[in-house]
Amino acid sequence: MTRAVLFDLDGTLADTAPDLAGTLNRMLKRRGLAPIPVDKLRPLASSGARGMIALGFGIVPGQAEYEPLRQEFFDEYESDLMGETVLFDGVITLLDAIEARGLAWGIVTNKIARFTRPLVGLLGLDVRAGCVVSGDTTPHAKPHPAPLLEAARRLTAPPEHCIYVGDDERDIQAARSAGMGAIAAGYGYLGPGAPPSAWGADHIIASPGALLDLIPPGR
């Protein structure tokens, strides 16, 4: 019996890739480097600054150059969170239907609160979401189950009565570890690794609206 639906943010509810890519490309331009097409960066969007910096500069966490680039990326991204970011087609209709069925819903993202809070507000979801758990809300980020369990606690829903929808393998790993149903958003960014069919999700959906076929019509 599903009582709550939890969603990842980037690549699941919102298409943030254009603004993340734009942030990287402004950094590249500042250094006289050629921009990278958004379509090439899109699969890494769920990894945020880490993924963008790795592809754009070949720098990864642990290298001395990474932290300055990460802070520059954060400052640049914060200056234009919603230049081109939009909710995926069908998300509003999906949320309307979830609420009409008497189910709670919330957001669990690895995006830090510095960006999550203003972005969720700009998207108009802050007044609707039952909870918003960011990447720095708990001591651990996904794929650790702690953020999902915190969201379930805030919604007063037992984890076994929650489902989590995400577009990255670590989302499915987190849901499994938390004892929740796991739905892969096949329309999202998906990352450069194994395909969604190998993640161990309960279902893969091709569009936000397809989720409605997997949750009960009402309590």
Active-site annotation, residues: 8, 10
Contacts of 94 (CB under 8 A, 6+ apart): 208, 209, 211, 212
Backbone phi and psi for residue 184, each to the nearest 5 degrees, phi listed first: -90, 130
Backbone phi and psi for residue 78, each to the nearest 5 degrees, phi listed first: -60, -25
Instruction: Indicate the angle between helix axes 17-30 and 48-57, nearest 10 degrees.
Output: 40
| Residue (of 116, 97, 113) closest to 105 by Cα position | 97
Provide the 8-state DSSP code for 201: -
Burial profile 6-28: b = 16 or more Cβ within 10 angstroms, e = fewer: bbbbbbbbbbbbbbbbbbbbbbe
| Residue (of 34, 78, 75) closest to 56 by Cα position | 34
Contacts of 62 (CB under 8 A, 6+ apart): none
| Residue (of 123, 105, 110, 116) closest to 14 by Cα position | 123
